[in-house]
Structure 1
């Protein structure tokens, strides 16, 4: 597995399990992580083993968001069958998708800033596996999706549940407060198409596992989600699909939230108001 990341100051990095080095040291033609996304999708991304600089241990890197600017931010609701049952919702016959604005984004560590209690007094956090697009595409079949995906990312999504419960048409507002999407520190770039079936996703709050499930229990797996939405609109490098949560947990100021996506990565964030 290779990883694409940036430091908190914005310096682009490429890495593996042993550490990270400047992206340009591995490929002088790449000036940013965004420039590297098409190569990640094509399987031609150079790793730190071929770099002219030494690796830096992951624990010695202060990570920021892996991209300075993401594209479209898609979310998928009710995608784990058990979670839909918990919410007493019927399984959708098509992906229950929605868009979030770029202003929701925050990097590893957060913080997640809850809105004033006069606007929402019940916000939940949700661990999710995200897909990052690497190449522009339209009308891609599922068998070809790996050719356009750059990699995968752990994220924490948030919902102002009391806002949503007042009216389902308030979904966009309920999902769109500032800092309501925490992106992981590194995009995981598989060396070859990855079997996601047994990958487990965990929502953890204050070191307690609040929800856990495997990708195999999604109603719509990640590749199907990408293919489906490529029939709706053109997808471009940096677009992100957050593929749904195994379960949500209410959060309060002072909490620590963690999204763990096995084989992909982990992201944490503190909660404040």
Structure 2
């Protein structure tokens, strides 16, 4: 597995399980992670060990968001059958998608800032596997989706649940408060195709597992989600799909939320108001 990342100061990085080097030390012609996404798709990121630079241990790095600016931020609701049952909702026959604004995005470490209580008194946090696009595409067959995906990362999605429960038409507002999408610190770029089905996704609050499930139990798997939406609109490098959560957990100021996606990574953020 290779990893693309940025320091909190904005320096693009390329790494593996041994550590990170500046992206420019491997690819002098690349000035940003976004520019590296097509090479992630093509499997030509190279080996950080071949760089004329000393590897830096990830524990000594402070990461910012992997991209300076993401593209479209898609979310998929009710994508695990059990979570749909928790919300007393009917299982959707097609991906139940929505868009979030870029202003909702926060980098690793957050914090997650809850809205004033007069706007919402019940916010939930949801761990999700996210898919990052690496090539422009339109009308991609599901079997060819790996040819347009750059990699994967964990995210924490938030919902003002009481707003949503008042009226399902309020979905966009309930999902769009500032800091209501915390992205993981690194984009995991598999060496070849990856079997996503066996990966476990966990929502944790203060160390306790509040929800857990396997990607295999999604109603609409990640590659289907990408193919489905590529029939709707052109997808571009930097577009992100949060593929749905195994379950949501209510959060309060002082909590610490963690999203863990097996083999992909994790992201943590404290909750404030």
TM bucket, shorter chain? over 0.9
Measure the CA separation in 2 of the matches of 1:178 and 1:14.
29
Q: Distance in 1 between matches of 2:49 and 2:136?
A: 28
Q: Distance in 2 between matches of 1:118 and 1:91?
A: 31
Q: Distance in 2 between matches of 1:142 and 1:192?
A: 16
Residues in 2 aligned to 1:163 and 1:83: alpha-carbon distance in whole angstroms: 18
Aligned to 2:13: 13
1:132 deviates by 0.1
Instruction: Tell me what 1:196 maps to.
Output: 196
Distance 1:118 1:88 in 2: 26
Counterparts of 1:46 and 1:52 in 2: how far apart (Å)?
13
In structure 1, what is the equivalent of residue 161 of structure 2?
A: 161
Provide, for residues 51-94 of structure 1, a one-character-per-residue CA deviation record: whole Å limited to 9, x for no partner: 11010000010000000000000000000011001111111000
Structure 1 residue 192: deviation in Å?
A: 0.5
Q: Which runs of 4+ in 1 moved over 3 A?
A: none
> Where does residue 104 of structure 1 map in the other structure?
104
Cα-to-partner distance string for 1:126-185 (whole Å, 9 max, x where unaligned) = 000000000000000011100100000000000000000010000000000000000000
With normalisation by structure 2, the TM-score equals 0.99
Which residue does 1:236 correspond to in 2? 236
Distance 1:166 1:41 in 2: 42
Give, in whole Å, the separation in 1 of the partners of 2:263 and 2:180: 24
CA–CA distance in structure 1, aligned partners of residues 51 and 150 of structure 2: 20
Cα shift at 1:46: 1.7
Find the aligned partners of 2:228 and 2:194 in 1 and give their Cα distance: 19
Aligned to 1:34: 34
Deviation at 1:44, TM superposition (A): 1.0
Partner of 1:52: 52
Q: Which residue does 1:210 correspond to in 2?
A: 210
Matching residue of 2:61: 61
Shift of 1:47: 2.7
The count of residues paired between Structure 1 and Structure 2 equals 273
